Amino acid sequence: MMRKPKRELPSLAIHLAGIFLRNPVMVASGTFGYGEEYAELLDLNRLGAIVTKTITLKPRLGNEPPRIVETASGILNSIGLQNVGLNGFVRDKLAFLKKYSVPLIVSIAGETSEEYVQLAKRLGGEEIEGLELNLSCPNIKYKRGLMFAQDPQAIHRVVSRVRKVTRLPLIVKLSPNVTDIASLAKVCEESGANVVSLINTFTAMAVDGESRRPILREIAGGLSGPAIKPIALRMVYEVHKAVKIPIIGMGGIMTASDALEFIIVGARAVAIGTGNFVDPRIPIKVIDGISEYMIKHGIRNIESIVGNLRCRES
Amino acid sequence: MVEIEAKILLNEKVGPERYKMILSAPEIARQAKPGQFVHVRVGEGYNPLLRRPFSVHRVKGQKIEILYKVVGKGTDILSRKKNGEFLDILGPLGSGYRSPSDTSKISDVILVAGGIGVASLLFLAESLSVTSPELSILAIIGAKDKDELLCEGDFKKVGCQVKVATENGTEGYRGLASDLLQKCLPLSGNRGKPLVFACGPLGMLKRMGEISKKHHLPCQVSLEEHLACGVGACLGCVVKVKGSNYTYKRVCRDGPVFDVCELVWK
């Protein structure tokens, strides 16, 4: 039989818990500032969505430098959630982002579940498409020593309380620094989260052997970049098997093939993080690359290959 | 600010472990101001992963020059690049030297360059010689050894008076460029306070802070820092500055040039 030439352009659009994304490629929180930093270098409207730098109730100074160090195929950071605070964000940063049609997801973090609630209430009144609950920053001090994302009860408390005060889609950002990420994703789902995004960075460190000093001032930081991609893929795969809610997959995505691997193991959307620092055009290259892949493989709709991993029968 | 594939027109050794690279980069050449930098991806691979920042050393027509010292893997790869190859560069980035807007109150400019710090200061000298030819510019160039001295002739060519310091005393004054500056102060004659611009190793810049305070000299310094994004997004390169208590500024966007009096040294 003759194959019809495929002239129809593939559809990269996805629905993510009620948020319409023109393509599945987002930029990850903390790697894209408040959008304005990159606006001269790429057309923000081409992105699937922007996730802002994490906002806290009060402005935060962040950690003492040195805050960043390059490691093999990765970087370690210890920024410590430096941000302008809720009021500063709404007053100075939001107007710029609203000029674009790209869906805007605001990442928030609190020291208590009550702070998440307050942030969600206030941001619920703004023109944004979703909230990402950052429960997994490895670079701040937690009262109980554990990050929220490491404690199922804490996850449940934060997510269920925030769920009650907002109708915005809730995305929960998970930590890889756990024994069983799938069970924690399940807790998110049961507590009312609409989406889980994973992974945040791995706690890690770098040492200068000559001086015998840690390179980061805070000793340990969060590892990101291509070095963590295989572990991120495995975690997205496991979470996809455990939950029904959509997944935003991330961890070292530098190319369209990287992004497609995440989609194939179960991510409905993907996010570029460290890649933005290496080449601000990576998100656009990834979008174009996914489109080319779909044409090559005759895929009309990107959603049709989400979780479509072809494992051998056992 | 643009990201371009720039053709390498020349990559030549100009001293021990020191190289000069000329790149065809019309858009960056048009926009660049002294003290700004370009963020260079030295290879396609993931090791090194991050770009490397280099001050714009010179702008000539549609070309820019960078002057660099091989200090690690990134600069080593860069030093092996051949003429005709292309480099992914992002720039111009950062806030550069602030030239005196009103030169009627200022008659003297002093440039203090330590080691590879001459890179950005030559661009400043060349630029000032065009925009404010009435200024008298003294360039103090320091290096560890006379073999490592750079750009002496280039500064002279644009009319700067040049003084040289070497740490081992093989040429000129024996000591740091900042010590030589101290010896030159106060400037002779009944002139206004000079404006000082400095770029060099951290130790030298700290000394500049002390000298600036002691002599009440306005002084701008250009900081060198490891950068990730280079555009102000990641907040990885911050430096502590004075505020109501203290606060952080981004070396890559708010700097790399700062008034020395605003910096909080460790």
C-alpha to C-alpha distance for B251 and B264, rounded to whole angstroms: 13
Task: Choose the CATH number for B2-93 among 2.40.30.10, 3.40.605.10, 3.30.565.10, 2.40.50.140.
Answer: 2.40.30.10
- Architecture in CATH of B223-266: Ribbon (2.10)
Q: Residue A215: CB partners within 8 Å, gap ≥ 6?
A: A66, A69, A76, A205, A206, A207, A208
Query: What's the CATH fold of domain A14-62+81-203+229-305?
Result: TIM Barrel (3.20.20)
Q: Do A41 and B1 touch (CB under 8 A)?
A: yes
Domains of chain B, by residue range, sit at 2-93, 97-218, 223-266
Q: Do B247 and A254 touch (CB under 8 A)?
A: no
Q: Do A279 and B3 touch (CB under 8 A)?
A: yes
Query: Does the model's ipTM exceed the 0.90 cut?
Result: yes
State the catalytic residues of A.
137
Task: Give B253's contacts in chain A (Cβ within 8 Å).
Answer: 37
Best of B44, B73, B229, B263 to disrupt the A interface (most A CBs within 10 Å) is B229
Q: Do A278 and B50 touch (CB under 8 A)?
A: yes
Please tell me the distance in Å from B132's CA to the nearest CA on chain A: 31
pLDDT over threshold 90, residue A6: no
pLDDT tens-place string over residues B2-57 = 999 999 999 999 999 999 999 999 999 999 999 999 999 999 999 999 999 999 99
Q: Do A37 and B3 touch (CB under 8 A)?
A: no
pLDDT of amino acid B104? 66
pTM of the model: 0.94
Please tell me the distance in Å from A62's CA to the nearest CA on chain B: 8
The pLDDT of A198-210, averaged and rounded, is 97
C-alpha A174 chain-centroid distance: 9
Task: Give B47's contacts in chain A (Cβ within 8 Å).
Answer: 72-73
- Give the H or E element holding residue A236: helix A229-242
Name the CA dihedral angle for A273, A279, A284, A285, rounded to a multiple of 10 degrees.
Answer: -110
Task: Give B237's contacts in chain A (Cβ within 8 Å).
Answer: 65, 67-68
Domain B97-218 has CATH 3.20.19.10: no
pLDDT tens-place string over residues B225-243 = 999 999 999 999 999 999 8
Best of A42, A69, A277, A282 to disrupt the B interface (most B CBs within 10 Å) is A277
- Which residue among A33, A82, A280 places its CB closest to the CB of B248? A82
- The larger pLDDT score, comparing residue A247 to residue B266, is at A247
